[in-house]
Each structure stands twice: as structure tokens, then as C-alpha cells.
Amino acid sequence: MRKYELLAISNRLTEAGVKKVRRIGQNKEFDQIRKYVPGDDHRSMNWKATARQNQLMVNQYQEEKSQQVYSLIDKGRVMKMPFAQMTLLDYAINASLVISNIAIRKQDKAGVITFSKRVDKVLKASRQNNQMNKVLEMLYREKTGFQETDYSKLVIQIKRNIPQRSLLILYTNFESMPSLERQLPYLKIIARSHLLLVVFFENTALEELLESTPKNTEDIYLKAIGEKFVHDKRQIIQELKRHGIQSILTRPENLTVNTLNKYLEIKARGML
């Protein structure tokens, strides 16, 4: 968390793999009127101020602030899969800490909701000085369970606790199209009122299988099944996109950087 914070403060996030995103159009919040300098966008020219001051003046804008960013962390059995001595939940918690910290540094409000069979904890979005301590305290002892996640309970809590349109980053995992189809009606309800970003994981255990050369009939069947799982992951992305839901499919070790890239892209493009 501190590593990304220091890089963000010094504008060196590219060293950690975070991409620079070209801003589209003007940001929404007006900052001030200032003198024109070569290279300024001519579309931001303020002609009334130019006439009054008898010199070229432009409007200056700043990033829109006080937007709400919630990390929704699935603690069900789909997040128990191990990778490099950590569970998928561990990676989701680490990414949530970094995103929450960077969001607060960018004057946004960060909040967290954890859920599985029921919604366990809700930390309302804020950017107060002690908010990160609350996030750390909340996530310190979180563990996965073997229960099936109940998204209907999540929908109810979101409607109750998040009335303002917000960026909701959902950390979960879908291994097949049927697993997505069971939850898709709830995801569509959430996406009607909020900008929903679904983050799920590549099955890295399949890579070795897919790269190997089959030696017998059983190997052929196993490889075909592995290819079906990989195809399903790509299909899930397309299905979410079809319903206007943003998504990230990532390797566990790249989760934090890929999620941070997407958050900064959403900010730069004014998608909220």
C-alpha cells in the first residue's frame, strides 16, 4: 500500500506497471481562470475574461473529486482457490487496500463491503483522515468460507447504503458461463444505478496443461476441458460487456496493477 502511495505522490506509478491514460475531453470541476500559455487547449479559452484583461485567458479544470469508490469483496468459496501460498481473497484484500488509499489521495471517498452467504461488514465511503485505519482494521481478519455467495443480499445492502452513483469494484471469480448466469440478474440491477467493475481471475493452473503435448486419450480429454474453461472466461467478458458492465480478467499477481489502471482510466475518461 505504501509503495503505490509513494509512487502516486511522486507521479511514478508507471514504474509499477500503471499506464498513463490520455484524458478525454474536459474534467467536470472548474478550478480557476488563468493566463494562456502556449500549448493550452484553445477550446478552454475564456473570451469574456480575455476581453476584460486584454490578454488571452483560459479556464482551468481539475479532476472531479468526492466520487465514491467501493470495494465489494466476495468471501465465498470461489475465492478460496490458492495461488502462490495466498488465496484469491488475499489478493482481493491487497488490491482493495491500494485502491482505497489511492482513491483517498485523489480526494475521492473509499468504502468497503464484504459478503458471502450474507453481507458481513459495511464501511461507508469517506475520505476522513482515519478512513484507511478503518479499512485496515476491517480487512485484517477476513477469511473465505465454503458457502455459496448470495448476491441478492448484496443488492439489498447496496440499495440501503449507497444512494449516490458510485464506482463499485466487485472482486469475485467466475469459472464458467453457468456460474455467471446465476448471478447476472443481480449484477444488472447493481449496474443500473452504479458503475460496476467486475474483477475475476484467470485460472493459471491451466496454463501448464494447455502448453503440454497430450500423450494419451486422457490427456486429450483434459486439454479439451481446459480449453473450454479458458473459452468460458473470454465469453464471460463479452457477456458482461453486452450488459454495460465493465470487467477485468487478470492473473492474481497482476490484480493490483490492473485494477489500479482501470480506476485511473475511469477517472480520466469521466465515466462516473
79 and 57 together in one domain: no
Res 135: pLDDT: 96
91 and 33 together in one domain: no
32 and 130 together in one domain: no
pLDDT of residue 19 exceeding 90: no
pLDDT level of residue 211 (50, 70, 90 thresholds): confident
Residue 117 belongs to a domain with what CATH number? 3.40.50.410
111 and 236 together in one domain: yes
Structural domain ending residue among the three candidates 46, 62, 78: 62
pLDDT of residue 192 exceeding 90: yes
Residue bearing the bigger pLDDT, 158 or 211: 158
Q: Does residue 261 fall inside a structural domain?
A: yes
What b/e string do you get for 161-190 counting C-beta neighbours within 10 Å, with b at 16 or more?
ebeeebbbbbbbbbbeeebbeebbebbebb
118 and 182 together in one domain: yes
134 and 193 together in one domain: yes
Q: Does residue 156 fall inside a structural domain?
A: yes
Q: Does residue 18 fall inside a structural domain?
A: no
User: What pLDDT digit, counting tens, does each position of 247-269 carry?
Assistant: 999 999 999 989 988 998 888 78
C-alpha cell at 86: 495466498
Exposed, middle or buried: residue 225 (CB in 10 Å: 0-12, 13-18, 19+)?
exposed
- Could you tell me if 63 and 26 are in contact, meaning their C-beta atoms sit under 8 angstroms apart? no
Q: Does residue 160 fall inside a structural domain?
A: yes
Residues in CB range of 53: below 8 A, 6 or more apart: none
Residues in CB range of 210: below 8 A, 6 or more apart: 223, 226, 227, 230
Least confident interval from 6-10, 33-37, 165-169: 6-10
Structural domain ending residue among the three candidates 62, 83, 108: 62
What span, in angstroms and rounded, lies between the C-alpha atoms of 215 and 160?
56
Res 89: pLDDT: 95
pLDDT of residue 157 exceeding 70: yes
pLDDT level of residue 152 (50, 70, 90 thresholds): very high
36 and 152 together in one domain: no
56 and 167 together in one domain: no
User: What pLDDT digit, counting tens, does each position of 36-48 carry?
Assistant: 888 777 788 889 8
93 and 33 together in one domain: no
Res 120: pLDDT: 92
> Can you give the residue range of the structural domain that contains 160?
68-268
Residue bearing the bigger pLDDT, 118 or 269: 118
91 and 223 together in one domain: yes
Q: What is the mean pLDDT of residues 123-146?
A: 92
What span, in angstroms and rounded, lies between the C-alpha atoms of 232 and 238?
10
Residue bearing the bigger pLDDT, 32 or 266: 266
Q: Does residue 49 fall inside a structural domain?
A: yes
pLDDT of residue 25 exceeding 50: no
Q: Does residue 45 fall inside a structural domain?
A: yes
The upper half-sphere exposure of residue 219, i.e. CA atoms within 13 Å in the direction of its Cβ, equals 9
Least confident interval from 5-19, 191-205, 214-228: 5-19
Q: How many CB atoms lie within 10 A of CB 231?
A: 12
Domains in the chain: how many in total?
A: 2
The upper half-sphere exposure of residue 28, i.e. CA atoms within 13 Å in the direction of its Cβ, equals 10
Cell 475531453, residue? 25
| Confidence (pTM) | 0.79
User: What pLDDT digit, counting tens, does each position of 68-95 carry?
Assistant: 999 999 999 999 988 888 999 999 999 9
Structural domain ending residue among the three candidates 17, 38, 62: 62
229 and 107 together in one domain: yes
Q: Does residue 23 fall inside a structural domain?
A: no
Least confident interval from 83-87, 98-102, 150-154: 83-87
120 and 239 together in one domain: yes
CA distances from 186 to 22, 31, 236 (A): 33, 39, 15
Residue bearing the bigger pLDDT, 36 or 167: 167
Q: With the C-alpha atoms ordered 186, 187, 192, 193, is the resulting torsion angle positive or negative?
A: positive
Res 24: pLDDT: 44
Q: Does residue 21 fall inside a structural domain?
A: no
